[in-house]
Amino acid sequence: MESSKNIVYIGLDGETSSLGLADGGKLIQAGVALIVNEKMKVFTEYISWPMGMHWDQHAEAVHGISQELTQNGRYAENVDEELSNWLISELGEIAEDSLISVGWNVAAFDHPFFLHALPKTMQLVSRRAVELNSLCFAKASSGNVSADYETFDSIKSNAKAWGKQALAEQGIFGKEHDAGYDAALGLMVFRYFNQL
């Protein structure tokens, strides 16, 4: 029989040089957030790739991170070591499958980039994830078979506004498409849904 273990939810977000690993895109900024004793803790770091990467101008237009800025980042293996050590130092022993990532399209989009760039860290993170878009769709269609995008967008907007306010109350400010801030915001949005 499997022993009991506590689930720990972590915000996880990455900014990437393009939309796909298959076309040579890479993780260029990693963000992870967790709540310890009701205090938000955030890890964020830029990642450089000395052997290069595919750079998509459309991706840069979304996140606003220049290719020059990533060249001053740290190598992925160093970020991987630091992030995995940070998680262990903040949480202590981490039971298998106990770290559940939370984010927007986190399992489908962010996990593959993190697995590629930060494998040691991802050994600590479960394949299971909380998908915030799914929570918005579920709320938008509660009581109905289907939802419309206007309702979905309104729910998502309200959840993000609540999360931003909750972060501001902890002295955490930033902008969307910064991986550290988005990781923290995702975790707060999950709290928003839990209190409805």
HSE, CB side, 13 Å, CA atoms: give it for residue 76.
20
Give the pLDDT score at 159: 97
| Angstrom distance (rounded) from CA 137 to CA 179 | 23
Rounded (5°) CA angle 88-93-95: 115
| Angstrom distance (rounded) from CA 170 to CA 168 | 5
Give the pLDDT score at 187: 97
Mean pLDDT computed over 93-111: 96
The pLDDT tens digits for 113-162 are 999 999 999 999 999 999 999 999 999 888 777 778 889 999 999 999 99
CA distances from residue 155 to 102, 109, 142, 192 in whole angstroms, order as listed:
17, 22, 12, 11
**8-188 under CATH 3.40.50.300, yes or no:** no
Neighbour order of strands in the sheet with 74-75? 74-75, 39-48, 27-36, 8-16, 99-103, 125-131
Mean pLDDT computed over 71-92: 96
Q: To which H or E segment does residue 128 belong?
A: strand 125-131
**Residue 159: partners with Cβ closer than 8 Å, 6 or more residues away:** 132, 136, 189, 192, 193
Q: How many beta carbons lie within 10 A of that of residue 59, not counting itself? A: 18
**Sign of the CA dihedral with 2 first, then 8, 11, and 13 last:** negative
pLDDT band at 62 (very low <50, low <70, confident <90, very high): very high
